């Protein structure tokens, strides 16, 4: 390259933050943006800007699905072992997404190696929830319990102390947790609750359910006001369902499965529930009808609803393997991929998305990034 040609390409360090941000907005997906952010501290600072992340998601759509985290049944109340877990990657044509899926530390082995514990009732960290590309973990039991929020791709963690306001007696023994993450600014909240004579049942982001006797009730948390509302669901107890916040359908909605029919329940003018839309999966998609006939896949479990997509599991009581379904609710397009396993995973399960959410930095670290942001090193 001649000197004149080299002069036509200024060094990366001379590119302003605004232009660098515009370049980042043209990257193909979140996985590539995360790779770019690892190049140097300045690039990380620009790629971590919440305004840029919101623009990036508006241009490229929501974070892509990396796969599903499957779990065995939850342990007994005083069990010393957590349930087994399995990560099922979603097929992708992007090598960067495939590499990110392969990097998921779903057993949080790296985290446990860096945070050893001993002398407690439970001898390992347990998975308690998921949101925004992070796992909510707990260790210990009752007043000795510790919490951590772990990024299984970036291998970074924030250790938390459980509040001392929880009651521990016979009626209020178990504490249930949920993780609420804001992806653009990388912040999160951990919500803890003790439920008398009930079971915390869901993986969804904004809502948790309570089951007591033959009445199925839904305990809904408004994350803006942090107020709880208890509502009764309009279908029989123990039916598979999920709560969703769908603005296009008036806000609070329920997605339920009755055999192989997915139902969308919305509020009516009187505050009750009505079915706004329902889809027979077997009639709409012939491939599922064939699976129903050939492999006796019969049951549909609603796992989560996000960005207009319903995530489900199609399974059978006769076999351990199953199929993961992703239904685009508006376009009525279905993606299906196999969960080929010899063990049954019928505990909590949720879709896992590729997010670029840098760990929270202390003021000193943020100042360090600002002071050192003019130096950038890119490996060849």
Which residues contact residue 324 at a Cβ distance below 8 angstroms, ignoring those fewer than 6 apart? Answer: 68, 88, 90, 311, 312, 313, 314, 336, 337, 338, 339
Which pLDDT value is given to residue 310? 96
Per run of 10 residues, the mean pLDDT along the chain (length 380 residues) is 53 78 91 84 87 89 91 69 86 89 89 73 75 88 80 87 61 72 83 62 42 68 82 85 88 91 92 93 94 92 92 93 94 94 89 77 43 33
Model pLDDT for residues 268-315, shown as the tens digit of each residue: 888 889 999 999 999 999 999 999 999 999 999 999 999 889 999 999
Model pLDDT for residues 29-70, shown as the tens digit of each residue: 888 888 888 788 888 889 888 889 889 988 988 889 999 999
**Triad 349, 350, 355: Cα angle to 5°:** 150
pTM of the model: 0.82
Cα 256 to Cα 23, 56, 138, 270, 344, distances in angstroms: 42, 32, 30, 21, 22
Report how far residue 176's alpha carbon sits from residue 191's, in angstroms, rounded to the nearest whole number.
8
- Are 90 and 67 contacting, i.e. CB atoms less than 8 angstroms apart? yes
3 state SS of 362: coil
């Amino acid at each position: 390259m001649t000197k004149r040609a080299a002069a036509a390409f200024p060094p990366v360090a001379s590119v302003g933050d605004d232009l660098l941000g515009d370049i980042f907005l043209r990257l193909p997906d979140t996985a590539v943006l995360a790779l770019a952010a690892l190049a140097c501290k300045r690039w990380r600072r620009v790629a971590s800007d919440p305004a840029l992340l919101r623009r990036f998601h508006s241009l490229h759509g929501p974070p892509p699905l990396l796969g599903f985290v499957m779990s065995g049944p939850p342990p007994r109340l005083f069990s010393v072992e957590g349930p087994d877990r399995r990560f099922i990657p979603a097929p992708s044509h992007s090598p960067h997404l495939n590499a990110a899926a392969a990097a998921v530390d779903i057993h949080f082995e790296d985290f446990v190696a860096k945070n050893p514990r001993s002398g407690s009732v439970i001898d390992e960290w347990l998975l308690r929830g998921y949101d925004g590309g992070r796992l909510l973990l707990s260790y210990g039991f009752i007043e000795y319990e510790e919490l951590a929020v772990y990024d299984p791709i970036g291998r970074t963690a924030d250790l938390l102390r459980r509040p001392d306001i929880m009651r521990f007696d016979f009626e209020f023994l178990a504490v249930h947790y949920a993780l609420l993450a804001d992806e653009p600014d990388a912040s999160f909240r951990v919500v803890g609750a003790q439920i008398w004579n009930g079971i915390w049942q869901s993986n969804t982001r904004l809502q948790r359910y309570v089951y007591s006797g033959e009445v199925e009730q839904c305990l809904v948390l408004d994350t803006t006001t942090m107020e709880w509302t208890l509502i009764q669901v309009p279908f029989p107890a123990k039916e598979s369902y999920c709560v969703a916040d769908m603005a296009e359908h008036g806000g609070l909605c329920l997605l339920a499965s009755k055999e192989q029919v997915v139902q969308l329940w919305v509020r009516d003018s009187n505050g009750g529930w009505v079915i706004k839309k329902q889809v027979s999966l077997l009639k709409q998609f012939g491939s599922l009808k064939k699976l129903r006939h050939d492999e006796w896949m019969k049951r549909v479990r609603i796992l989560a609803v996000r960005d207009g997509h319903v995530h489900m599991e199609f399974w059978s009581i006769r076999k351990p393997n199953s199929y993961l379904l992703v239904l685009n609710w508006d376009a009525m397009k279905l993606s299906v991929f196999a969960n080929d396993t010899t063990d049954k995973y019928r505990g909590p399960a949720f879709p896992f998305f590729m997010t670029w959410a840098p760990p929270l930095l202390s003021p000193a670290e943020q100042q360090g990034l600002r002071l050192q942001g003019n130096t950038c090193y890119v490996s060849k």
